[in-house]
Amino acid sequence: MGKIVFLDIDGTILDSNNEIPDSTREAVRLLREKGVYVAIATGRSPHMFKDIREALAIDTYVAFNGQMVVVDGKPIYQYKIPSSVLEKMIERSTLRGHSLAFMAKDRLVVNKENDHRIALAMGSLNIPYPPCIPDFYLGEVISQVLLFSEDGEESVYAEDFPGFRFVRWHPFACDMVVKDGSKATGIKKAIAALGFSIDDTYAFGDGLNDMEMLKTVGTGVAMGNGHPTLKKVADLVTASVDENGLYEGVKKLGLI
């Protein structure tokens, strides 16, 4: 049976300038040359990394931290957050002075204009301030919500929504993810559809939302620029993304 590698995007595929290093492009090319299947596992919605998929010719991916799975260009799974949960989240966040982003497969919108937390968090991904459409969630399949709050403020939401986890990825932003969902659950769905074994599955990541993924796959690799907690659960810590970390990692593993 063959091998498959899942790559996180921010801080793994993309460097600190939000660009794909030449060494990463070369690593992906060499992996394919060796017969290794390459896929993406990200917290982003599909429209937020279309250019990356095209640049690396990748059409299998786990999006929304596992809430959507696409295999060979065909969607095989998408989770929808219930309207009742979204309405309660809007109510609680409004009371607390926090903003939200609603993530659909082809669009991301926010419910407040001119929030510096939104501007800084999205700016860190090199994404302009999203359009403000407060009732966007009505009639749309929303798979993930972003909560814009300061570090620690998400704990009250965890109490309000016991069926969900709040995973921080920026000083002003958290992903709201269904409790039993993660990149790992999405990866399991993808490899089952493709016929790979979890033992022959590799994953590279740098953030706290990569924790379950690195612990679940056969070999989990943390980037040198990764979160210290993530490095503790990794099977291997490679160089940072700005120091050809992906290339060096697959080389150390003997995949190229």
Given the residues 8, 10, 175, 206, the one annotated as active site:
8
Question: Tokens 């290794």 identify what position?
Answer: 36
174 with 118: CB under 8 angstroms? no
Pairing mode, strands 74-78 and 68-71: antiparallel
200 is a catalytic site residue: no
Catalytic center residues? 8
